[in-house]
Each structure stands twice: as C-alpha cells, then as structure tokens.
Amino acid sequence: MAIRNIVQDGDPILKKVCRPVTQFDEKLGQLLDDMGETMLKANGLGLAGPQVGMLRRVFVVLDEFIDENGEDAQEIIEFINPEILETSGEVTLFEGCLSFPNRNGAIKRPKHVKAKAQDRYGNWFEIEAEDMLARAICHENDHLNGVTILDNAKYFYEDLTEEEIKKLKLDEDYE
C-alpha cells in the first residue's frame, strides 16, 4: 500500500465527472487499498477517486460503530460505480473535505441514505446508512459528479462571526 497525494482546491479534476469502473483487477484493488490508507493517514471520513487524481467512479468511507462486544470499531467500506437509491430526512451541519483544508461549509444532507455499489470484485451490494455515514456517502458520491463543498455550502464557518454561526439553523445535536 502507498499514501497518495490528495488533490487540492483549484485542481480542475475536482470539477470533472468520473467514468465508470469496468476492470475489476489487481490495479483496482491497489487503488482501493491506497485510498483507504491515505484517508486514514489524513484523518478523513471518506476519499473519492478524483481526490487522488483518478477519474473513476470509486470512493471509500470510514464507518465507525460499536461492535457486538460494546467496543469502538471501524471499517472501511469501498464503493465502486455507486448509485444513491433513496434518501430521507435532512440535517444541516458544517462539513469539511480533505481537498479543501480549512474550509468547513454548512451543508444540508440526508439523514438516511440507501445506496448500491459494487465491491472490488464486481459484486453488487446495497447499504442503508444514517447520520455521519450517510453524510460521508453523499459527500463522496458528489465528488464523482464534480460537485464539491464549495458548490453545496451556503456559508463557511471560517467566514462567519460567532454571532452569525449561532443564528444559523444547524443541527447541533446530530451524532
């Protein structure tokens, strides 16, 4: 595995629509391994293909949960050729992005999402997610369509005063 460079604000690749993945091979497996390692090293919750210079419909997200023993656990979920099938609820929170360091936008996202995607071997799966995992899936899926937090956010935390932040209708009790 290798740490990849994360594409930063201003790179035109972040505005491009990604092509579907058609080859499920060792090269794809290496890309997914590298993306997972890069995401963890950068303390991210997700990372999409264009963020590492690959215009392919692929992303990884970190799912953090409590396991059957009551212990904190985490798992990297890999999405290839994803589709959002259903969404419900709305939650507005400040959200960051590894490609836009020090920019946190107030973004409205679904509270619940149902998606389907392929795994690294080409097998289709469906997933239902809530809260932060749902937010991460939607955020990374946007990257595959050339949409970033700069497109989705009305306000950025760094541009507001404390008073202005207090007046925003954010969902502060969100998990």
- Catalytic residues, by residue number, are 140
Given a contact cutoff of 8 angstroms between Cβ atoms, the answer to whether 51 and 141 are in contact is: no
The DSSP line for 106-173 is: EEEE-SEEEEEEE-TTS-EEEEEEEHHHHHHHHHHHHHHTT--HHHH-S-BGGGS-HHHHHHS---TT
Q: Which amino acid is at 175?
A: E
